[in-house]
Amino acid sequence: MNRLTTDQQRALGALLIALALHLFGTVMIEGYGSAFSLRAMLVLASLLALASVGQTLVIILGGIDMSIPFVIGFANVIAAQLYGDGMSFWLVCLIVLSLATLIGALNGTISGGLGIHPLIVTLGIGTIIQGAVLLWTAGFPSGSAPPAISDFVSIGGSAMGLPVPGIVPSLVVVAIAITLLLARTPYGRRVYAVGSNQRAAVLALISPLGMWTLTFAISAFFAAVTGILLLGFTGSAYAEVGQPYLFQTIAAVVIGGTALVGGRGSFLGTVAGALVLTELNTLLIGFGLKPSVVQAALGLVIILLVSLYARDPHVRTRI
């Protein structure tokens, strides 16, 4: 019988924590375990997990993407504005996702090509994007999402005969696809190789610059998808709708067992981490804590987990 890898153990541990939090909330808070509450948490966790797809890949690669919340806000506002002007929503999605992918590719090219730390590059480009959006809308974005997108993320919706909205089974499909991408394709092997030892990857004829450009492009793509879906979820455009995802995507990745030093991790762990964060946030709110206290508690959890996992030695020190 094969033993679980460290990544699998951490992903399983995160899932068990999420289940424990849910059981605790069900016992302590009336209505916590209701069907409506469960659907709401699944939708919120799905949105966070989708936003964290790129963060997972980027961190495995050895980087970090601080532009995710800004790209989410960019996609949210641009999609609403263009759709409100009468443009076909599918054309809107094509334009927004294409622009976001180019932004991500620029992040990766500058970080990987010039050797500038991605934290600085992505934060700087993200701030530029947010400023450009505010200038374009004069600070007052308008527009909305079509009913199909709203239904797709509606807490009361259903899909494929399941009592959950379409975003939940869609996340399952995405999780399977990303897992196969990392485990069974040349791209996945190269991501782990570059994250483990970039110099060795070069000797193996892998282009670090190409991997950085492609991986950051994927990150921005999924951030834009999240921004469009949030438009349907909230019903209106808001440039700062992605701000809660600034550290939550990193926290979900770390809770799921992906090492901040790169070279190790899985997206299934990230999904479990998103469930943990959603359960914890809902639990604290259910106890009637003020939003400021909830944020402080979540921040404490993030610091503890990052302090724990960031102490892991880099993969190359164990080879």
Q: What is the count of structural domains for the chain? A: 1
Using CA atoms, how far residue 63 sits from 36, 60, 132, 212, in Å, is 38, 7, 25, 9
Query: What is the domain-level CATH number for residue 119?
Result: 1.10.3470
Whether 48 is in a domain gets the answer: yes
User: Of all residues in the chain, what percent carry a pLDDT higher than 90?
Assistant: 54
Confidence bin at 314 (pLDDT 50/70/90): low
Whether 319 is in a domain gets the answer: no
Whether 42 is in a domain gets the answer: yes
Whether 189 is in a domain gets the answer: yes
Mean pLDDT of 198-222: 93
Whether 205 is in a domain gets the answer: yes
- Kindly report the number of other CB atoms within 10 A of residue 141's CB atom: 21
- Distance in angstroms (rounded) separating the CA atoms of residues 319 and 317: 6
Per-residue pLDDT at 58 exceeds 80: yes
Whether 259 is in a domain gets the answer: yes
List, in sequence order, every residue forming a beta bridge with 159; answer none if it has no partner: 162
User: What's the domain range around 158?
Assistant: 6-314
Tokens of 137: 């809308």
The overall pTM is greater than 0.85: yes
Whether 289 is in a domain gets the answer: yes
Whether 241 is in a domain gets the answer: yes
Per-residue model confidence as pLDDT tens digits over 215-246: 999 999 999 999 999 999 988 888 889 998 98
